Amino acid sequence: MTAYATTARAPTFLEEVIARTPGEPHLERCIQCGTCGGSCPSGADMEHTPRGLFALINAGLREQALCSNTPWYCVSCYYCTVRCPQQIHITDVMYTLKRMAIDEGYYTESTARDAPEFSKTFIDFVESNGRSFELGLATAYHLRYRPLNAVGMAPMALGMLRRGRMDLTPTKIKGIKQLQAILNKAKELGGVK
Amino acid sequence: MDNSYEPVIVGFLCNWCSYRAADLAGTSRLHYAPNMRPIRVMCSARVEPQFVLKALREGADGVLIAGCHPGECHYVDGNIKALRRYELLKRMLRQLGIEEERVQLVWAAASEGNVLADAVNRMTEQLRRLGPLRWRETVLGGDGQMTEYSSEKVSKEV
Amino acid sequence: MSEERVGVYVCHCGSNIAGTVAVEEVSQWAAGLPNVVVSRDYKFMCSSLGQELVEKDIKELGLTRVVVAACSPHMHERTFRATCERAGLNPFLFEMANIRELDSWATDDRVAATQKAKAMVSAAVRRVIHHQPLQLLPVTINPNTLIVGGGVAGITAALEIANAGYHVYLVEREPSIGGHMAQLDKTFPTLDCSACILTPKMVDVAQNKNITLLSWSEVEVVEGYIGNFTVTVRKRARYVNEEKCTGCGICIDKCPKKVVDEVFEAGLGYRKAIYRPFPQAVPKYPVIDTASCIFFQRGKCKACQMFCPTEAIDFEQQDQILKLEVGNIVLATGYDTFDPRRIPQYGYGRLANVFTSLEFERMVNAAGPTGGRIVLRDGVTTPKSVAIIHCVGSRDKNYNEHCSRVCCMYSLKFSHLLHERVPDAQVYEFYIDIRATAKRYEEFYHRVLEEGTRFIRGRVAEVTDAARLPGEEGKLIVQYEDTLVGKQRRLPVDMVILSVGMEARRDSREVAQIFGLGCEYNGFFIERHPKLDPVNTMTEGIQIAGACQGPMAIPEAVAQGAAAAARVLSLITQGTVMMEPVRAHIDAEKCSGCRICNNLCPYNAIVFHEDRKVSEVITALCQGCGACVAACPSAAIMGAHFTDEQVMAQIEGMLWDVQPQIAMTATGAE
Amino acid sequence: MKYGYYPGCSLERNAAAYHQSAMAVAGPLGIDLVEIDDWNCCGATEYFSINLLPAYALVARNLALAQDQGISDQLVAPCSACFLNLTKTDRYMADSPQLAADVNEALAAGGLHYTPGSVRVRHLLDIIVNDVGYDVVAAHVSKPLTGLRVAAYYGCLIVRPGYGGIFDDPEHPTVMDKLLRVLGAEVVDFPLRAQCCGGHMTQISQEVAYEMIRRLLKNAADYEADVIATVCPMCQLNLDAYQANVNQFFKTDYMIPVLYFTQLMGLAFGASPLELGIGKEFVDARPALSKIGVAVPSNGTPRKAGASKEALPMPRLEEERS
């Protein structure tokens, strides 16, 4: 979170991204070397490599950057982060861009528009039970957003059930009320940051 | 606390490393708290306990002593002597009721302008939180005699 | 109240100071300080007009003390001392307040900066009143010089000084001089044969009567000071009698023990247990590496001794400890290359056909392990495609943040050599930026472009043998982003060359400690001033030259070697130098003979007179650190120019605005 | 050695085999794993994408519970994603006083508080190789895995980026290789050992996910691994449960069972396959495990240059030096 707040002018898009990322992500340091783009296991399928995305951010091309599928294709493997010669917290920046894309409604224009829905479905279960629930997640997500896929995934779900690797009902923690109070307070404090 | 309070720090900087670090910080236009008032000494080992006490008695809120990193002293090991003396001085300051943060020893190489600047910023922030050192109130009976006696003891133990 | 008449001069330094500090206000305020008879501000105090102002005031107003508030004393203290001296005032009756580096440049808070400037001026005024007139101390310069490191920088310095007629001791850690340059094949951008241009200079060293070459030797202790250093050198046992050895090399032929040569051949070739790193080695005498010698390890063999025609092999030889008296020292200890095993994703050490640039230098060298053939690790296959990866271990905060400066150019040279030796090979250069910034470098880049090298802008992410797609099997796959296309790509190649960067020597900090130098954050030695004094160090009498100061190419290392030599020669021909009189002195009357100071002195400069029970400082040995001054319980030791009174007065002045009322009246009365 | 234990959602059901086998080896090794009461999900990689502060608060509740229940100042997480989230939250709270204050304000709504640094989170593999040690493990081996060719698969989050301190190289980890060798297994070179399994990509883009899984399977198959050993439920799920889909998609026929390293430890310690949860995997491990004790001649790893007369020397590696 660098100190753009101390300057009188409006923050640039780059400064906004930095400010919304915890700690010091150092995105301003990028020298466009491409180590991240070369390292990313899903990089070949991204619309922009991370480096390319950072160039868009630096150029202030907000819409292009936030519509990109790149952050949603990030698998959080941290290769880019540990290899970055400028020690930029690239994975954290990807999370920030996802949040910004949701907040500003851009994600619906992304080719990865299902990804946030998956995340949201996942979180719904965690928020109501305190634990994740694979069967519920799979059925809810696939039925809601990917009806065609749901058919294809059915054998696997059955396999999971048969091997005792999936529950039919969700587990709920005892302190679910406490957890919800905590999460609600956090939402209130942090807004949708 | 009064927000307008700005602590005054006397900084003893050794000629070879930390003074040059301060020079470098300036040359690199690294902005840091203007609260430290520098005094150049040839080596951190030259800093006598009396200097520190004198500065505190004369109205400084804190004293920063800066030397070369251990192993890099221009005079072989003057900084180690400064460190030993500093440890004894800290014990004495504790007895006088002076907070530990008010007298600090840091290492900054000639190439480390940022290290020195950070140290000044950090110390300034700490002293802002502590508030002014009120020598007469803090150091009961803090007349010259007691300090001379104590600092002499420190010198001997080094 | 003191009678001293002080003049205060506050410098604007253009807008450097005046942009942040209200200099007129400081100057007007200073005029009201006790003892100040004149206070002026001026655009540039260091200009001749500024200096004349001071001179005039000294003469006309009878100033007895001068304070200049301007830049760092490390910049202009000498200037203004000379100004005072010209006007007939002892130069030490002057004090400088550094309101630029330590004030105006360090903040943009105008009010605080002005307040701080006032404190520093007030401190300087109070301090200068207590100054004593002092005289510089003359020191004679021993005309002998020690040069540490026999690479191209050290060789150049040695020859320059020796040719001027002065004696040089050249100490080299390895069995031969030559350094990294002797390992290289061609030099960029001219493509001179490296050895061909270096070996004549090495021979000059061997033949120069003014040079004592101590190879296979290391400096262990340095004592003394400029003009008068005593250096202890360990001359390691070679187990070869240099008087008898003719350098015929039969011992090397007959030695049955072959080991990988990790130093000269960069691990790519072998040497014997008794060896000479390369045929043109200077000196020509071999050494026995006891760690691999069969006789030293198992007690029998002695093949070398049996076959030596002059009985020069001496298994009983011992290390020799030499004491050298020298007046100046030049450090030219060079650099290490980055060890790419620290970047596992590039596969060096795991993947056979990944080579370092130094290995490749040895490979293309006609005198190297493959006789100049470019082959894969199997020793026979010629690569059809080669990827050269730039910035390995450089420009990377995880390893070395600095740019190593030479890698772009030597990588381009590799491309050229590959095209020349393996005409049908495809060569790829993976770069972030091409830095071709010296004479004829850019032209060389263009030439390599025209030769057909493919340049790909992107720092390589990884090198792997894990084939993913058809066509990758059995190859090394370079994975990267082509940043100009914006796509992740994979390139199968036969050979990968890692252009490893330059680092400070692994033991540079220990060496710096021996010589009393400072190191940068990355271990390179610190020069006195990065622009104006690049070969001098903070320690008088010690110069640095070549890549021990920072990454550089051959021409710069040579220039630095010559520059260091010029510095040394200037001191030698002066014969004496004047030293700062910042020295300790013990008042025998006050000394209680407690001897606390005796052991504190790092230079053993304090002797104790048993008869009189007092200690005394030997001025010639004292370096003026002040450790003894601070520790003396009887306040019997005075540190010239840093006396208790001076520092105490400076403290009072610094705190003029915050002093409690009581203290104000106590000291304000003086 | 007593530790707090955070199993994570996966180990409850999907990766129950990991939990069972971890417990089966912990006992003999003297590791006492005491489950944190009423822990909650760590949010996996999903919560940080949606809402930052609740994401940290969610994880921090577990740290606060571990701190309050006072089982130990060390908390063991067997799942790499849980391990990452727990260490990351602790580290970021320590680095950013503002974040710590916000998280604690949220926790206060549930009557909890967490002081950064008070719980040290560690991965189960770290505990076994560093706290227990290879020698103690070796002493418990009664049925060495002789003849079993294993690819040690670390995945990403156990070694990267090292928020809780680095216990193995983030690019080329080796501790599990050593551990498996101690068990008597033949560990194959596996260059992709620290590559990602695809994580949640299976839910977002199957093409992308399947390709990532295929690479790993291919690499293990290229080195003739009988079994892939994993340290993370996500890696196990992706490589195992999706193996058939990958085969279908790419027209390949990989049949490489994927087991938890603790299952292999249990086998070597003489535990029964049933109590180790063996049988829950999609790709049947029995054919591979039947090779144990049967020495199979290997055709060596292809990477080393042949030691022919012309060959140039290879640079030495640290592990070879020691």
pLDDT tens track for C201-254:
999 999 999 999 999 999 999 988 899 999 999 999 999 999 999 999 999 999
Measured distance CA(C386)–CA(C363) in Å, rounded: 14
The pLDDT score that the predictor gives to residue B141 is 53
Closest Cα in chain C, distance from residue D220 (Å): 10
C428 near A CB under 8 A: no
SS3 D18: helix
Question: D–B contact (≥3 CB pairs within 8 Å)?
Answer: no
Chains that touch D (3 or more CB pairs under 8 A): A, C
How far apart (Å, rounded) are the C-alpha atoms in residues D88 and C149? 48
Contact between chains at C480 and A34 (C-beta distance less than 8 A): yes
Across the range C3-26, mean pLDDT stands at: 96
- The reported pLDDT for the residue numbered C302 is 95
Chain A positions touching D208 (Cβ under 8 A) are 42, 45, 73
Side-chain-side CA neighbours of residue D121 (13 Å): 31
Closest Cα in chain D, distance from residue A131 (Å): 5
Summarize pLDDT for D106-154 with one digit per residue, the tens. 999 999 999 999 999 999 999 999 999 999 999 999 999 999 999 999 9
In this structure, the number of other CB atoms found within 10 A of the CB of residue B129 comes to: 10
CA pair distance C538, C225, nearest whole angstrom:
12
Say which of D43, D52, D212 has its CB closest to residue A126: D43
pLDDT tens-place string over residues B29-62:
999 999 999 999 999 999 999 999 999 999 999 9
ipTM above 0.90, yes or no: no
Quote the DSSP letter at residue C383. Answer: P
D1 pLDDT exceeds 70? yes
Token code pair at residue D9: 């959602």
Q: What chains are in contact with A, requiring at least 3 Cβ pairs below 8 Å?
A: C, D
User: Which of A:83-122 have CB within 8 Å of C?
Assistant: 83, 85-87
Interface residue C379 vs chain D (CB under 8 A):
yes
Query: D225 or A115: whose pLDDT is higher?
Result: D225
Which of A73, A102, A192 minimises the CB distance to D205? A73
Which chain A residue is nearest to residue C491, measuring alpha carbons? A38
Residue D51 to residue A131, Cβ atoms within 8 A: no
pTM of the model: 0.88
User: Token digits for A191?
Assistant: 């807004």
Give me the percent of chain C exceeding a pLDDT of 90.
92
The pLDDT of residue D172 is above 70:
yes
**pLDDT band, very low/low/confident/very high, at C604 (cuts 50, 70, 90):** confident
C181 confidence band (pLDDT: 50, 70, 90): very high
Distance in Å, alpha carbon of A84 to nearest chain D alpha carbon = 11
Measured at the alpha carbon of residue C86, what is the angle toward residues C85 and C87, in degrees to the nearest 5? 90
Is C488's CB within 8 Å of A37's CB?
yes
Backbone angles phi, psi at B116, to 5 degrees: -65, -45
Is the preceding omega at residue A85 within 30 degrees of 0, hence cis?
no
CB contact under 8 A, B155 and C631: yes
Nearest C-alpha of chain A: how many angstroms from D126?
Answer: 19
CA atoms within a 13 Å half-sphere pointing along the CA-CB vector of C250? 15
Whether the CB of D281 is below 8 Å from some CB of chain A: the reply is: yes
Query: D300 at the C interface (CB within 8 A)?
Result: no
**Each residue of C340-364: pLDDT tens digit?**
999 999 999 999 999 999 999 999 9
| pLDDT value of residue B146 | 47
Tell me, what's the pLDDT at A151? 64
Residue given tokens 């996802």 in the structure block? A98
Asked if the C-beta of A70 comes within 8 angstroms of chain C's C-beta atoms, the answer is no
Interface of C with A in 444-473 (CB under 8 A): 457-462
Read off the pLDDT of each residue in C136-160 and give the average, rounded to a whole number. Answer: 97
Contact D109 A77 (CB under 8 A): no
pLDDT at C530: 86
Q: Is C248 left (phi over 0), alpha (psi -120 to 50) or beta?
A: alpha
Q: What is the pLDDT of residue C517?
A: 84
Mean pLDDT over B65-75 rounds to: 88
- The per-residue pLDDT for B1 is 41
pLDDT of residue C591 exceeding 60:
yes
Strands, E, within C166-282: which ranges?
168-171, 186-187, 192-193, 211-214, 217-225, 228-235, 258-261, 269-272, 274-275
D312 and C369 within 8 Å at the Cβ level: the answer is yes
Q: Which residues of C touch D172 (CB under 8 A)?
A: 344-345, 350
In the prediction, which pLDDT does A193 show? 44
- For chains B and A, having 3+ Cβ pairs within 8 Å is answered no
Best of C71, C72, C98, C102 to disrupt the B interface (most B CBs within 10 Å) is C102
Please give the C-alpha separations between residue A39 and each of B90, C354, D184, in angstroms, as whole numbers: 51, 19, 34
pLDDT of residue C661: 58
Report yes or no: D174 at the C interface, CB cutoff 8 Å: no
For the cut 50, the answer to whether the pLDDT of residue D305 exceeds it is: no
Q: Which alpha helices (H) appear in C130-193, and where do they start and end? A: 152-163
D83 or B110: whose pLDDT is higher?
Answer: D83
- Any C CB within 8 A of D313 CB: yes
Inter-chain Cβ pairs, chain B and chain C, closer than 8 A: 178
Tell me, yes or no, if D103 comes closer than 8 A to chain A by beta carbon. yes
Nearest to C377 among D218, D302, D314 (CB): D314
- Which parts of chain A have pLDDT scores under 70? 1-8, 139, 143-152, 191-193
Can you read off the two tokens belonging to residue C145?
A: 């010089």
Contacts of A29 (CB under 8 A, 6+ apart): A86, A87, A88
Q: Exposure of C85 by Cβ count < 10 A (0-12 exposed, 13-18 middle, 19+ buried)?
A: middle
Is pLDDT of C520 > 90?
no
D307 touching C (Cβ < 8 Å): no
Cβ distance of C488 and A38 shorter than 8 Å:
yes
Q: What is the pLDDT of residue B149?
A: 44
Which band of pLDDT confidence, cut at 50, 70 and 90, is reported for residue D179? very high
- Separation between Cα atoms, residue D41 and residue A125, nearest integer Å: 10
CB contact under 8 A, D169 and C377: no
Q: Give, in degrees to the nearest 5, the angle at Cα A78 between A76 and A80.
A: 120
